[in-house]
């Protein structure tokens, strides 16, 4: 068989790990700042780019360096509100590439927001500082936006918000018993255990079915309020649920988020939760009891292996009515 019996099955390219930092200075008080820091991946695709892979023809290639320049340029020239809101920034970015380059058919943007929270000093030192910030947690907000040219129109085909790296632990209020047992099972049933996980989730946001340039002229949902709501419900259910398992608790988190009337544009939420095991240490060598649920106080935090539980919780057709 000749080498021509292969074809390009799929392809996309662009810039990854583009670091963006934007300062927004208050118009009335230039020392009062807001800041946003993002890591962005932006990938382009389209059938007219196929020759760049198959025929070494670079003529249709918008250089990945140009993609990086564009991400920085848009961070500078877009209205402050559109850069400070990661979802809006992503929507502007995908729209830019499809409205600028007729031969690009699809743009995918994945963004990670790095936290910068304003430092609040004692009142004697002036309270909330105008331009000093702290990284108060490793959790990150994520956004994915995908836009495609459909029938000559620029359409938003995917918009997702999310969280990653949100590390939580509860030292009681979690059990795991009644599970299937067979000759491979060694795990003891437990009625009170440590539950720790690093929350990763993403939720789909459905906007009105209009071309993206039209959507961008309309009033968009308050994406930051939705993001806070997802984080708050996740933490609330984690703390309050008398957990029967990671599976049962994550389902309740999804239920709470979708039941909140403020989240009507959220159609589903996917969780990925590792079960980070804490194992009671056997101190029997000193005659000290540490293995029973009631007296276990010293544990070995184990990095691996961990359980890994995934679920997508979605609205059923009836609940959309
Ligand atoms: O919440 C849990 N779900 C499981 O499926 C599982 N399996 C296991 O060993 N421990 C746990 N915990």
CATH label of the domain that carries residue 34? 3.10.270.10
Q: Is 78 among the domain residues?
A: yes
Question: Are residues 88 and 216 both part of a single domain?
Answer: no
Name the band, by pLDDT with cuts 50, 70 and 90, for residue 4: low
Final residue of a domain: which of 101, 120, 150?
A: 150
Give how many domains the chain has, as a whole number.
2
Which residue's C-alpha comes closest to atom 7 of ligand 1?
307
pTM score, whole prediction: 0.95
Average pLDDT, the chain: 96
Q: Is 305 among the domain residues?
A: yes
* Cis ω for the linkage preceding 147 (within 30 of 0): no
Q: Is 2 among the domain residues?
A: no
Domain of 215, in residue numbers: 164-321
Query: In the chain, which residue ranges form alpha helices assigned H by DSSP?
Result: 50-54, 64-77, 80-84, 86-100, 212-215, 223-240, 246-259
Question: Are residues 169 and 293 both part of a single domain?
Answer: yes
Q: Is 1 among the domain residues?
A: no
Ligand 1 proximity of 244 Cβ (cutoff 6 Å): no
pLDDT digits (tens, 9 = 90+) for 176-233: 999 999 999 999 999 999 999 999 999 999 999 999 999 999 999 999 999 999 999 9
CA distances from 211 to 85, 148, 216 (A): 21, 10, 9
Final residue of a domain: which of 86, 116, 150?
A: 150
Q: Is 3 among the domain residues?
A: no
Question: Are residues 142 and 173 both part of a single domain?
Answer: no
Question: Catalytic residue among 39, 64, 66, 267, which?
Answer: 64
Q: Given the cut 0.95, state whether the ipTM is greater than it.
A: yes
Total residue count of the chain as it appears in this document = 321
Question: Are residues 290 and 189 both part of a single domain?
Answer: yes
Contact call for residues 91 and 212 (beta carbons, < 8 A): yes
Q: Is 129 among the domain residues?
A: yes
Mutate to test the pocket of ligand 1, among 170, 174, 175, 176 (most ligand atoms within 8 A of CB): 176
Q: How far does residue 170's CA lie from ligand 1's centre (Å)?
A: 15
Which residue's C-alpha comes closest to atom 12 of ligand 1?
245
pLDDT digits (tens, 9 = 90+) for 23-81: 999 999 999 999 999 999 999 999 999 999 999 999 999 999 999 999 999 999 999 99
**185 part of the active site:** no
Helix, strand, coil shares of the chain, percent, nearest 5, are 30, 35, 35
Ligand 1 proximity of 176 Cβ (cutoff 6 Å): yes
pLDDT digits (tens, 9 = 90+) for 84-128: 999 999 999 999 999 999 999 999 999 999 999 999 999 999 999
Final residue of a domain: which of 118, 150, 182?
A: 150
Q: Is 127 among the domain residues?
A: yes
Question: Are residues 138 and 255 both part of a single domain?
Answer: no
Cα 67 to Cα 17: distance, rounded to the nearest angstrom: 12
Phi, psi of 201 (to 5 degrees): -150, 155
Mutate to test the pocket of ligand 1, among 174, 177, 179, 305 (most ligand atoms within 8 A of CB): 179
Name the band, by pLDDT with cuts 50, 70 and 90, for residue 3: low
**15 part of the active site:** yes
Q: Is 10 exposed, middle or buried, given 0-12, 13-18 or 19+ CB atoms closer than 10 A?
A: exposed
For residues 270-285, average pLDDT = 98
Name the band, by pLDDT with cuts 50, 70 and 90, for residue 317: confident
The closest of 314, 279, 313 to 298, measured between CA atoms, is 279
Ligand 1 proximity of 196 Cβ (cutoff 6 Å): no
Contact call for residues 139 and 115 (beta carbons, < 8 A): yes
Question: Are residues 16 and 145 both part of a single domain?
Answer: yes
Which pLDDT does position 318 carry in this prediction?
64
Question: Are residues 188 and 319 both part of a single domain?
Answer: yes
Q: Is 159 among the domain residues?
A: no
Question: Are residues 146 and 208 both part of a single domain?
Answer: no
Question: Are residues 310 and 171 both part of a single domain?
Answer: yes
């Amino acid at each position: 068989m000749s080498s021509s019996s292969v074809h390009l099955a799929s392809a996309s390219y662009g810039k990854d790990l583009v670091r963006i930092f934007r300062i927004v200075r208050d118009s009335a008080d230039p020392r009062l700042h807001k800041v946003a820091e993002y890591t962005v991946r932006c990938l382009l695709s389209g059938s007219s780019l196929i020759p760049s892979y198959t025929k070494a023809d670079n003529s249709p290639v918008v250089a990945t360096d140009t993609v990086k320049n564009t991400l920085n340029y848009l961070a500078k020239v877009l209205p402050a509100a559109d850069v400070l809101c990661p979802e809006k920034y992503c929507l502007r970015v995908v729209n830019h590439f499809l409205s600028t380059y007729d031969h690009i058919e699809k743009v995918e943007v994945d963004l990670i927001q790095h936290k910068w929270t304003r430092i609040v000093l004692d009142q004697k030192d002036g309270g909330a500082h105008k331009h000093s910030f702290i990284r108060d947690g490793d959790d990150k907000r994520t956004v994915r936006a995908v836009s495609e040219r459909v029938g000559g129109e620029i359409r938003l085909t995917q918009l997702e918000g999310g969280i990653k790296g949100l590390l939580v632990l509860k030292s009681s209020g979690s059990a795991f018993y009644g599970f299937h047992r067979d000759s491979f099972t060694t795990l003891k049933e437990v009625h009170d255990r440590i539950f720790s996980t690093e929350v990763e989730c993403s939720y789909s946001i459905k906007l009105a079915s209009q071309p993206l340039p039209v959507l961008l002229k309309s009033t968009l949902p308050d994406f930051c309020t939705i993001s806070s709501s997802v984080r708050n419900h996740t933490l609330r259910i984690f703390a309050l649920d008398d957990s029967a398992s990671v599976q049962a608790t994550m389902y309740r988190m999804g239920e709470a988020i979708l039941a909140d009337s403020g989240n009507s544009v959220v159609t589903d939420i996917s969780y990925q939760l590792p079960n980070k095991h804490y194992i009671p240490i056997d101190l029997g060598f000193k005659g000290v009891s540490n293995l029973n649920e009631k007296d276990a106080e010293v544990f070995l935090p184990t990095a691996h292996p961990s359980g890994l539980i995934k679920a997508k919780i979605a609205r059923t057709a009836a609940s959309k009515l």
